[in-house]
Amino acid sequence: MIRVYLADALLRERAALRLMLLDLNMEIAGEADNWSTALAEVPLRHVDMLVADWELLPGTSSVALDELRKVCPKALVIILISRLEARQQAALLVGADVFISKSEMPERVAAHLHTAAAKIRS
């Protein structure tokens, strides 16, 4: 079973993601509402995937993701983005494996998460 860690400041969004991931038969390994907690807990929870809100990343997003890669190099990093603009490209440039727009329909978000999980299994 794929172990997923959720990092989003909004409890309601984490709850929606949690339900979606459970429906996809993934295990929730932990949750955080801030980046420092996520960075501290992710390596301890032996996660396969981190789903994090772009807004949660500290000022220099590339440094934050570099720190994550050092402590958890094999985890797939999925960044959730509220507004689509240059942020799509920015998320990929700073080291995210996948980005997902929060404005997409839940079914599309679930499909993106399912596709990302398939990368872990193969």
Packing angle, helices 106-121 and 11-23, rounded to 10: 60
Task: Tell me which of 65 and 77 has the higher pLDDT.
Answer: 77
Domain of 10 in residue numbering reads as 3-121
Predicted pLDDT at 56: 82
Q: Calculate the CA dihedral of residues 39, 45, 51, 53 and round it to 10 degrees.
A: -30
Distance CA 31, CA 41 (A): 9
CATH number at residue 50: 3.40.50.2300
User: pLDDT digits over 4-36, tens only?
Assistant: 999 999 999 999 999 999 999 999 999 999 999
Q: How many domains does the chain have?
A: 1
pTM of the model: 0.79
Distance CA 1, CA 98 (A): 20
Element (H, E) at 16: helix 11-23
